[in-house]
Structure 1
């Protein structure tokens, strides 16, 4: 098996890879092969995705206080909150915790590092994220979460206040199932 650190850019990989040999149980290998076939990708590419997720997220998840939480429970908690409660949560502990976690995982704190961490957090929490960089250097980010309007409001407020601290002026669209934001770099 080949282990590699890849930098993904439009589904092409640009960084050098290194050869590594690992002994893996046949049951684990069978599951890895089946999953790579299901995803219509090579076994090597799939194993690199698994290893990348481990070093970028799994190693930090418990250290930063993240815990697995069923989406329906989170959606229900947020649905039971009123708008003032959501705003206080987002501007208070939500924002400060997100900043602390971002610094811990990324090792630095700027708008790019924060957005990168948010994307990683959302993807690893079962959300779909699309991030497009425009020709003018601006960013368009869409987070599809299916957690309800109050979760969208929470994300909007937390992202908006953090990005504004960097001098960004994000423009948002929110619905029951997604948050879309645009800002210039």
Structure 2
């Protein structure tokens, strides 16, 4: 999704010397200014953290999720993914966006990827179809899990049946435009 330029305001804040040094070091390592880094931090807070906290989200290392997935039978994984897909995306959309439509669902996937580290997100369109590519290092079972969560979530929240290409390190979702 393309973000439009927004008007900005100047705000002065007081930081401890230690916090300022930490921000400066991290900004230098990313080759951005401290101001840009603070803007990124505050954007993440506004788009994700303030909601994630209320939505009872937890953070786990990818290694932990991968181990759980590998210990799970494919049939059980698909059943749970479908159950999650029917419930969680719709709740998320209503909580975050106050609506369930294709635009908000695509934004939901983008947020999960950008801040929840589900995958690397890419969106393209040919004017008739949205093509969402999710790239990850989590293996085949993660792709399988995402496929069924997304299928149920899109059908329940948007009312359309997407098409999928499932691979070990990627999931491609094709959704016809309304």
Given candidates 89, 106, 120, the residue that maps to 1:98 is 89
Instruction: Give CA-to-partner distance per residue, 1:58-79, whole Å, 9 cap, x none.
Output: 1111211211112112111111
Give the count of matched residue pairs. Answer: 176
- Tell me the equivalent position of 2:162: 170
Alignment CA distance shift 1:105-1:144 (3 Å): same
Aligned-pair CA distance for 1:163: 2.1
Instruction: Give CA-to-partner distance per residue, 1:85-143, whole Å, 9 cap, x none.
Output: 11111111343123212321222221211221222122223344232232415322222
1:1-185 alignment runs, 5 A limit: 9=3, 14-136=5-127, 138-165=129-156, 166-185=158-177
Structure 2: state its 5+ residue gaps.
none
Backbone CA RMSD of aligned residues: 2.1
Higher helix share: 2
Q: Secondary structure of the equivalent of 2:47?
A: helix
| Whole-Å separation in 2 of the counterparts to 1:127 and 1:184 | 23
Which of structures 1 and 2 has the larger relative contact order (alpha carbons within 8 angstroms, sep 6+)? 2
Instruction: Give CA-to-partner distance per residue, 1:27-62, whole Å, 9 cap, x none.
Output: 112221222222222322221111000111111112
Alignment CA distance shift 1:172-1:137 (3 Å): same
Say whether the 8 Å CA contact 1:79–1:148 is kept in structure 2: no
| Whole-Å separation in 1 of the counterparts to 2:93 and 2:136 | 20
